Amino acid sequence: MGKRRFGRIAVWTIVFSMLLGMTAAMAAPNTAYAAEEAGTVWAGLSDTEYVPGEVIVKFKEQRSARGLMSGLSFESTAEQAGIELNQTQQLANGAAVYETGGEVLETVAALQDDPRVEYVQPNFIYRLTGFPDDAPDDADWAAQWGMHTDTYGVNALEAWTYTTGNPDIIVAVIDSGVNYDHPDLQGQLTELNGTNFVPNANYNVNQPMDTDNHGSHVSGIIAAAANNGIGIAGIAPSVRILPIKAKEDGNAYMDGVAIYEGIALAAARGAKVVNMSFGGGFLDRLMYELIRDHPDITFVAAAGNDGMDNGEFSVFPANFTVYNEQGGISYPALPNIVSVAALNSVGNLAGFSNYGKPEIYMTAPGDGIRSTCASTPYCNMNGTSMAAPFVSGAAALLYALDDSLTPAEVIGLLIDRATPLASLTDKTKFGSTLNSAASVAYLANRASAATASPESGAVSRGTPVALSTDTENADIYYTVDGSEPTEVNGFRYEGPIAVETPVTIRARAYANGKFHSKTSSFAYTLRSDTASLSALSVSAGALSPAFAPEETEYTVDVANDVNAIEVTAEASDSNAALQLNGGASVTGSVYGSIALEVGNNPIKVKVTAEDGIAAATYNITVNRAEADGGETVTPPPTPTTPSTPSTPSAPSTPPSKTTSEPAPSVGPGGTITAPPKLDSQTGTAAAEIDAATMSEAIGQAESGSGGKIIEIEIPAIDGARTYETTLSASSLAALPADTRLRLRTPAGTLTLPGNALNLRTSDGASKAAWSISLEEHSGGRPEIRLQLKVNSLPYAWSNEDAPMTISIPYSPTAEERADPERLVIRYIDKDGQAIAVPSGRYDSSTGTVTFSVTHFGDYAVAYVRRSFDDLEGVNWARKPIEVLASKGIVNGTSAQSYSPHAQVRRADFLVMLVKALGLSASVEGGADGRFDDVPQGAYYEQAIGIAKKLGIVTGTGSNLFSPGQPISRQDMFVMTAKALAIAGGEGSAEESSELSAFSDANDIAGYARPSLALLIREGYVAGDKGKLNPRSSTTRAEAAVMLYRIYSTYRLHE
């Protein structure tokens, strides 16, 4: 929705009987958006809606306010401007409270332009949203209509057949405190230390005593003790309340600072639910950030008690359920908050209750609610403050059944199983009221969890994993990238999954009419497939050739008087099994003494890898000489060691065979054809190219616009799974700087800059070998393994300044052919986690999947469909958003939301741009490699560092980048044009006649005109109704559309 009016809302106060019957008054709508000249969005704020003499300042980068500019403290700078400031409190999220000697709004206006400040706001006042009923009922179960009325109550008794909660589930109640001496509440509370945030004459930080009834009443609705013979029962009597006193005794309001501290305490104490039975009329940025930054907590907010539409006059925090905009800043809807209106006992919206569609999600009982109190043991109260804790308690019951639920799942269960009421159709988003029994029953009777066989642990490569569930007709969805296995992003299980790499399989069962099962995780490691020796020795003679792990054939000559020989062997992998001459299998190492006959004596050492599949046999032929004079003397045999009993020698196993092929040759244009030799045991087809051949190829290669390309063709050979090419380090060192190597094999094509490896013979490097192999992974799509060895040893290579491009043959399925843009590449890291490679794409003209990376490793082809729930109004941008999200180029603002209308920040756009074009560069630390306002470790640090090094951005001055500021359209165009030029995608940016076709061409800044002309000329920018709107902010939808156009036409350069 568009800009919202944040009206000043008079809300019901609490406790005092003299306030009964008061009419809620509504102040005139505020005119904040028309008050630009006032320099603050708070221009229309009444001085009764904030704490006098206090402001809240949020600093950029969460730095201290001191020492940020020219050695002057923040207070000193303010003093020079005639403002007296004194910091009194440090808050969560990098904010601080300051006392001010000036008017609050004047101070806010003066401070908000300080470059060190992210934002300034008043310390807002919040009013509790409940009030007492004038006709208290008897304190018994029958008086609690909201707990048990069949149609309009929450059906607590039915919910309790599944759970009453458990003490490990904590619900934080930010309110007026709690009567912790109340017999129905005493045993229901957590530790009270540090829960009082309102200092007064009787202040004790560990004593959040309630004197105003409100907090005690709310707490009792949630968790008053049940079946104790007195009073009332809470909806979740076995959970625990964390009471947070944020309202000073005698006041009709509480200030924002106490609420902020309360949220931080709730998170620190492990609360799963936070009840917020209060509201205010202005959007509080710090409160928004604190709720947003605790995505694992479910927040429950009261709608307000003015009988008004929250779509017209907002109440916060309840209205954080929808998109808001204030002061040019967008606030996307938060997925972890639910807003609650009040229902009366006859099934209608209570007359005092606020409402709103879509702002208010649901209702709960809130009229004439009996609960625990402070001034009297029990009392009746009315208000949305009473409705909210019913929902908080129901959420706690769900967490008691499964504390791994996300807030979105909890809110979804509450909403989906609520009872529809015709009276609420136009009053709330879903037109329904809380039914705790239905929500709890639906979760309790969920689909059975998926099980796996084998369950977890070390397995051999290729081991099939079978998934199953006890729920009939259920489908199982699984992931291997660490994400939740939903029906959208998971693979549907259709048969055993072959474990080819270390992987964690996460699985869920889905069945019609049931909530999905808990997520099951099964972690698999691969048993080693290393079948080689690290050491082999004999007690007499010498091995010929000298021992090397890759050499399996040896001879030993000994004199006639040597009648036995001792053999010692050690496996490269200590878990491998060894057998000497077919004897007992031992792990790690083997020793034995073998009797010798005159002549040839075959000895075998068999190595079987941990996986039980890979094996190798080392053959030693010991030649014992004849005696002098031709006599043969055969001494008695020497006994073998107990660990390896002497057994008759088995016939010699033939060594691993390799084929012999012609030597490499150089053809026209310098193309090298290198027929490989196949190792039948490993399936590796290896070709080696000597320095002379490389030198000849370099001399014959033709130069193009991008320099020379040395083509190396490796022909196919039957039985090969891996193709390996070896070059000498001296050949690589001799390559011209602008030369590229292109290795073409049947498994795929690898193209990399000639200087990518930067190997030096002076460092001991003599040979480098690349290998590429394709194997089918569990989804039926190929997995690519890229390896590099230097001097025959694995070499971990990464070079951000020299990306390599890989193309592999791929035949899509019918589903994939229909939407090939969803084919993506994932990098499989050492922990088995799948990480998006944004450059991956399918090219139907070549029948290949191509991607660009800066390191070797394991990669896999995947088919991903990613979507969001908030794209209905932007169908023109739906496909670009979904495709780019599937490829990992853009992310949502939550799991379900993309926030297409929200503004794009400068940092976020650069992250998208760098991913879309596959830009890379090594980034130095310090001022040369990083802007001063880009925090180390920030998710956008690398992208901004790459862009700075490549010259795409220069900052906003004084080595600052302003990452959190919205990006204008013209700045977006300039960055994009520069990035395209560097990536080699487009020509130079020059101003031309293209701009004259737009009516607002004169609004374009001079520095942006050439870039914008280029993007128009290339078809990336088309304008809107004859305008370019260069100075407007860019929305997330607009940015995605432009980047999609570029991504769809830009091709990786091999």
Task: Give the whole-angstrom CA distance, residue 306 versus residue 352.
Answer: 6
Tell me the residue range of the domain where 591 lies.
533-630
What is the distance between the alpha carbons of residues 142 and 572, in angstroms, rounded to a whole number? 76
Q: Per-residue pLDDT tens for 788-814?
A: 888 777 777 778 888 889 999 998 888
pLDDT digits (tens, 9 = 90+) for 344-359: 999 999 999 999 999 9
Q: Decide the pairing of beta strands 497-499 and 491-492.
A: unpaired
One-letter amino acid for residue 372 of the chain: T
Give percent of the chain with pLDDT exceeding 90: 42
- Asked if residues 380 and 368 have their Cβ atoms less than 8 Å apart, the reply is yes
| Cα 679 to Cα 685, 722, 724, 772, distances in angstroms | 6, 10, 11, 15
Least Cα distance to 304 among 355, 269, 258, 262 occurs for: 355
- Whether 649 maps to a domain, the answer reads no
Cα 523 from Cα 137, distance rounded (Å): 57
Cβ-count burial of 196 within 10 angstroms (0-12 exposed, 13-18 middle, 19+ buried)?
Answer: buried
pLDDT score, position 793: 78
Q: What is the CB-side half-sphere exposure of residue 112 using CA atoms within 13 A?
A: 17
CB 360 within 8 A of CB 426: no
Is residue 243 pLDDT above 90, yes or no? yes
Three state DSSP letters for 205-248: CCCCECCCCHHHHHHHHHHCCCCCCCCCCCCCCCCEEEEEECCC
For 410, which DSSP code? H
214 part of the active site: yes
Q: Catalytic residue at 385?
A: yes
What is the rounded CA–CA span in Å between residue 902 and residue 914? 20
Query: Which pLDDT score is estimated for 45?
Result: 63
Residue 57 lies in a domain: no
- Answer with the residue of higher pLDDT: 327 or 48: 327
pLDDT digits 0-9 by tens, 950-967: 888 888 877 888 888 888
At how many degrees (to 10) do helices 969-983 and 1036-1049 cross? 20
| Segment 546-587, tens digit of pLDDT | 999 999 999 999 999 999 999 999 999 999 999 999 888 999
CA 805 to chain centre: 26
Question: Given the DSSP bridges, would you call strands 599-608 and 615-624 parallel, antiparallel or unpaired?
Answer: antiparallel
Shared domain check, 407 and 352: yes
Residue 676 lies inside a defined structural domain of this protein: yes
Residues 808/784, Cβ–Cβ less than 8 Å? yes
Annotated active-site residue in 176, 330, 353, 385? 385
Q: Can you give the pLDDT at residue 300?
A: 98
Residue 785: inside a domain, yes or no?
yes
Same domain, 596 and 722: no
**Contact by Cβ (8 Å): 783, 858:** yes
Total structural domains within the chain: 5
Cβ neighbours for 700, distance < 8 A, ≥ 6 positions apart: 666, 668, 669, 670
Same domain, 222 and 177: yes
| Domain closes at, from 385, 420, 444 | 444
C-alpha torsion 707→713→714→715, nearest 10: 160
Whether the CB-CB separation of 598 and 626 falls below 8 Å is answered with: yes
Where residue 372 sits, what CATH number does that domain have?
3.40.50.200
**Residues 692 and 817 both lie in one domain:** yes
CA torsion sign, 404 to 408 to 412 to 415?
A: positive
Cα–Cα dist 121/767, whole Å: 64
Of the pLDDT bands very low, low, confident and very high (cuts 50, 70, 90), residue 990 is: low
The secondary structure element, H or E, covering residue 852 is: strand 848-853
Q: In which band, very low, low, confident or very high, does the pLDDT at 210 lie, cut at 50, 70 and 90? A: very high
**Of the candidates 331, 281, 308, the residue with the CA atom closest to the CA atom of residue 42:** 281
Higher-scoring residue by pLDDT: 200, 284: 284
- Please give the pLDDT value at position 963: 83
**pLDDT for the residue numbered 523:** 95
Which of these ranges, 336-340, 406-410, 634-638, 921-925, has the smallest mean pLDDT?
Answer: 634-638
Cα distances (angstroms) measured from residue 260 to each of 14, 93, 266, 407: 21, 9, 10, 20
Query: Which among 283-292, 605-614, 642-651, 756-765 has the top mean pLDDT?
Result: 283-292
Is the domain of 405 the same as that of 471? no
503 vs 64, higher pLDDT: 503
- pLDDT score for 755: 72
Looking at the structure, do residues 542 and 483 belong to the same domain, yes or no?
no
For 411-438, the pLDDT digits (tens) are: 999 999 999 999 999 999 999 999 999 9
pLDDT digits (tens, 9 = 90+) for 721-778: 899 998 887 778 777 777 888 999 998 999 888 777 765 544 556 778 888 887 765 5
Q: What is the CATH number of the domain that holds 548?
A: 2.60.40
pLDDT given at position 365: 97
Domain annotation covers residue 61: no
Residue 841 counted as domain residue: yes
Give the span between the Cα atoms of 820 and 712, in whole angstroms. 30
Q: Tell me: do 565 and 482 sit in the same domain.
A: no
Q: Same structural domain for residues 575 and 623?
A: yes
Alpha-carbon distance of 245 to 261, in angstroms, equals 10
pLDDT reported for residue 25:
28
Structural domain includes residue 838:
yes
923/940 Cα distance (integer angstroms): 13
d(CA 181, CA 511): 47
**Residue 2, pLDDT above cutoff 50:** no
**9 confidence band (pLDDT: 50, 70, 90):** very low
Question: How much is the average pLDDT of 707-717?
Answer: 89
Q: Which of 114, 175, 210, 573 is labelled catalytic?
A: 175
* 977 shares a domain with 1044: yes
Residue 173 is assigned to a structural domain of this protein: yes
Which of 270, 777, 740, 195 is CA-nearest to residue 491? 777
pLDDT value of position 94: 80
CA 561 vs. chain centroid, Å, equals: 71
210 is catalytic: no
> To 10 degrees, the CA torsion angle through 245, 247, 249, 251?
-170
Residues 989 and 880 in one domain: yes
The stretch 604-615 carries a mean pLDDT of 90
Among residues 613, 630, 647, the one where a domain terminates is 630
Does the pLDDT at position 779 exceed 70?
Answer: no
Condensed to tens digits (0 to 9), the pLDDT of residues 874-928 reads 888 999 999 999 999 998 877 778 888 888 888 889 999 999 888 888 876 555 5
* CB contact at 8 A, 127 and 278: yes
Which DSSP string corresponds to 466-533? EEE-SSTT-EEEEESSSS---TTTSEEP-SPEEE-SSEEEEEEEE-TTSPPPPPEEEEEEEPP----E
Which of 184, 212, 214, 839 is the catalytic position?
214
From the list 630, 641, 714, 616, the residue with the least C-alpha distance to 671 is 714
Strand arrangement of the beta sheet that strand 131-132 belongs to: 131-132, 378-382, 369-372
**Rounded to whole angstroms, what are the CA distances from 615 to 498, 586, 649, 680?**
21, 14, 19, 13
68-109 pLDDT tens trace:
333 356 666 667 667 788 888 888 778 889 888 888 888 888
pLDDT per residue as tens digits for the range 21-73: 222 222 222 222 222 323 445 555 666 678 888 889 988 864 443 333 333 56
Q: What is the pLDDT of residue 517?
A: 95
CA separation (Å) from 872 to 60, 323, 878?
35, 14, 8
- The yes-or-no verdict on residue 110 having pLDDT over 90 is no
| Residue in the block written with tokens 């429950």 | 300
Q: Pick the closest to residue 806 from 757, 759, 770 (CA basis).
A: 770
Same domain (yes/no): 709, 603: no
Which of 545-554, 912-921, 982-991, 1011-1020 is modeled with the greatest confidence?
545-554
**Above 60 in pLDDT, residue 635?**
no
Average pLDDT value for residue range 381-398: 97
165 exposed, middle or buried (CB, 10 Å; 0-12, 13-18, 19+)?
Answer: buried
Whole-number Å distance between alpha carbons of 315 and 283: 8
Task: Please answer whether residues 584 and 643 qualify as being in contact, where contact means their C-beta atoms are separated by less than 8 angstroms.
Answer: yes
Whether residue 914 sits in one domain with residue 836: no
Q: Contact at 8 Å (CB) between 140 and 394?
A: no
Which of 402, 426, 444 is the last residue in one of the domains?
444
